[in-house]
Structure 1
Amino acid sequence: MQRRHLLQSAAALALPALGASAQAQPAGFPSRPIKLLVAFPPGGPTDLTMRSLADGASRVLGQPVIIENKSGAGGTLPAQMLQSSSPDGYTLAQIPLGVFRLPYTTKINWDPVKDLSYIINVTGYAFGVVVPMNSPIKDWADFVRFARANPGTLSYGSTGTLTSPHLTMELIAQQLGIELLHIPYKGSADLAQAISGGHLMAAADSTGFAPLVETGKLRVLNTWGETRLAKFPTAPTLKELGINIVQNSPFGIAGPRGTPPDVVKRLHDAFKQSMEQPGFLTALERYDMLPIYKSSADYGKFADVTFTREKALIEKLGLAKAQ
């Protein structure tokens, strides 16, 4: 009901504003196409929702916002690439939560809080754990029993080392006293191929796996939100299973450090308008995602708080790099 209301409101109110912006001739910035680096490969939930967002922003800005996929390194390549980009607003990056973990696990010469210009937070993920439909693991209790009986042999895939699915699964394993075998992939599309092809016992990912569930190839064991997902009403949340974890891994868009404030505002306003369009809301709904809006100032504060919190998580899991 809430999503339907959002879609109806956007259709009634936001399209006229978007049309007016699209008809206006932009003055000054931007005068040429804008590049938006996305941290995961084509075809997955992140790529498809960001393409929808970019399309709407393009109409507002009067210049194309062109997606470039830069996958690998746990989703941190776009943020790293901003460190050598001009702070002129023409190169932007999607910022997954893994960016805030980077200094604690890898030696880098830049600061995720100070060396990015935070523009807008847009959404987050709905995560869960799936297994093949023909797996002997029929529910989460079976998963835990197998893992306890066979330490280090229950293989699960994620969208990359030190991504939220990986770290959350390791945190779950630590809380339950089980040992799992992690196999990283470059994104949801590759992971879906692996789990549906029988190369993994389980997968932890956002709900890009939904089509494989709906066609009877995969089974959902749990989801990671505050409440159950309407698309998978029989799948319990982690909290229902006695694991006090909620994970939605918010992400947004940033530019290089030193991007002029007026450029940041222009970009913020364009992406904010795009967030309110039916096309973007429909793209989010397809993957059980919701708008998670944060202004430039609030997104910067979120980055600061998250940077500190992720340090505690990395240390708790024993994954911090040697000093």
Structure 2
Amino acid sequence: MILRRRPLLAGMLAAPLVARAQSFPTRPILLIVSGPAGGTTDYTARLIAPPLSEKLGVPVTVDNRPGGNGTLAVMPVVRARPDGHTLMLAYCASLTGRPALESNLGYDPRKDLAPIALLIEAPQVMMVHPSIPANTLAEFIDYAKQHPGRLNYASSGSGSMQHLGTELLKNRTGIDMVHVPYRGTGETMNDVLAGRIQFYMTTPPPALPFVREGKLKALAMASTERHPAMPEVPTVAEAGLQDFSAEAWFSLMGTAGTPAPIVERLTRECRDILQQEAVKQRALLAGAFVRYEDPQTLASRIDREIVGWTNLVRAQGLTIE
């Protein structure tokens, strides 16, 4: 009798889960954003939310919770019911950069979150203040080597792609610069334009007007392809630095344990949305490229980057600042 009851009990427990998955969604969806309004993470959320709402037939509400390179937005998703109604628009730093830098985050993105889809990638442009006598990446590297520890570089915080990307540049070239973390792009750009920060990498939109006006010099794109908004700027490979990439990326994540049918539904809708030409063009306006990946491929990306950034953190002796 006991042997007969066990599968029956398992079926009874699974039935509500299956029913919820089949009727998803049953209420509005909360999309938590790991960044402030106006940033690329927020832009990505507002790019995907309206068409996702239309496809699902329920409101998708964007809720900005910036701080800690995205870590403050993670915990509400980790603690949510795994039913697909609480999602996160995640900046890669909260999934790979910060975990590589800090072991006591309170969450493990590989265990506590469910990958749904990669949405976009945003290449970063390497820039210097005009006072730096360098017009190419090679010239800047030579100049930095002649002035070890005397140049400052900015980032949006410890574990951000700006931070780790520049540390990767330091590691690969042997240059020495001082890290100055900031809270927002506006404050950072003010100090970059004033010359208090000599080197900075960020996505093209906030930098483009200043490069056009000659207030900043763009040296290279930290990506594998040139950007259409700045076609004259070479990639790092074209500038002489091979096998280097520091692209920021943004993905949709759910709570670990979300039923497979719900994840599959969300993934399918995201894939269809990203195929829309209007969405691709809007992404380009934000300096980004549509880059769809399914949950399995995204999970592999997260694993691979955590390992890579962890190795860099150890090699550079990095700590939280």
TM-score bucket of the superposed structures, by smaller chain? 0.7 to 0.9
1:225–1:246: 8 Å Cα contact kept in structure 2? yes
Match in the other structure for 1:205: 202
Shift of 1:193: 4.0
Paired residues for 1:144-163 under 5 Å? 144-163=141-160
Is 1:90 equivalent to 2:89 in the alignment?
A: no
TM-score normalised according to structure 2 size: 0.81
Amino acid at match of 2:24: F
Q: 1:183 aligns with which of 161, 180, 183?
A: 180
Q: 2:111 aligns with which of 103, 110, 114?
A: 114
- Bigger radius of gyration among the two: 2
Gaps of 5+ in 1: 1-26
Question: Match of 1:114, SS?
Answer: helix
Q: Which deviations, in whole Å up to 9, do the C-alpha atoms of 1:152-182 show, x marking residues without a partner? A: 2212212221112211111211222221121
TM-score normalised according to structure 1 size: 0.81
Amino acid at match of 2:87: L
Residues 201 and 258 (structure 1), Cα distance of their counterparts in 2 relative to 1, 3 Å cut: same
Residues 203 and 102 (structure 1), Cα distance of their counterparts in 2 relative to 1, 3 Å cut: closer
Shift of 1:127: 0.8
Amino acid at match of 2:68: A
Q: 2:69 aligns with which of 50, 57, 74?
A: 74
Number of residues paired by the alignment? 295
Query: What is the rounded CA distance, in whole Å, between the counterparts of 1:111 and 1:121 in structure 2?
Result: 18
Question: Match of 2:304, SS?
Answer: helix
Match in the other structure for 1:313: 312
Query: What is the rounded CA distance, in whole Å, between the counterparts of 2:69 and 2:262 in structure 1?
Result: 29
Query: What is the rounded CA distance, in whole Å, between the counterparts of 1:319 and 1:151 in structure 2?
Result: 18
Q: 2:96 aligns with which of 90, 93, 100?
A: 100
Q: Which deviations, in whole Å up to 9, do the C-alpha atoms of 1:251-306 show, x marking residues without a partner? A: 31111111122222222222222222233211211134222111123323333333
1:83–1:256: 8 Å Cα contact kept in structure 2? yes
Paired residues for 1:1-323 under 5 Å? 28-98=23-93, 99-106=95-102, 107-133=104-130, 136-208=133-205, 209-244=207-242, 245-319=244-318
1:56–1:277: 8 Å Cα contact kept in structure 2? no
Query: What is the rounded CA distance, in whole Å, between the counterparts of 2:130 and 2:175 in structure 1?
Result: 23
Q: Which deviations, in whole Å up to 9, do the C-alpha atoms of 1:165-224 show, x marking residues without a partner? A: 211111211222221121222344443344345542232111122233234433211111
2:124–2:248: 8 Å Cα contact kept in structure 1? no
Question: Match of 2:163, SS?
Answer: helix
Query: What is the rounded CA distance, in whole Å, between the counterparts of 2:184 and 2:35 in structure 1?
Result: 6
Structure 1 residues 240-249 or 119-128, which shifts more?
240-249
Residues 134 and 310 (structure 1), Cα distance of their counterparts in 2 relative to 1, 3 Å cut: closer
CA RMSD, 1 decimal: 2.5
Residues 70 and 212 (structure 1), Cα distance of their counterparts in 2 relative to 1, 3 Å cut: farther
Residues 145 and 39 (structure 1), Cα distance of their counterparts in 2 relative to 1, 3 Å cut: same
Shift of 1:141: 4.2
Gaps of 5+ in 2: 1-21
Query: What is the rounded CA distance, in whole Å, between the counterparts of 1:48 and 1:136 in structure 2?
Result: 35
Query: What is the rounded CA distance, in whole Å, between the counterparts of 2:85 and 2:249 in structure 1?
Result: 23
2:34–2:89: 8 Å Cα contact kept in structure 1? yes
Question: Match of 1:169, SS?
Answer: helix
Among the aligned pairs, what percent are the same residue? 29
Amino acid at match of 1:64: P
Query: What is the rounded CA distance, in whole Å, between the counterparts of 1:187 and 1:141 in structure 2?
Result: 29
Question: Match of 2:110, SS?
Answer: coil
Residues 60 and 170 (structure 1), Cα distance of their counterparts in 2 relative to 1, 3 Å cut: same
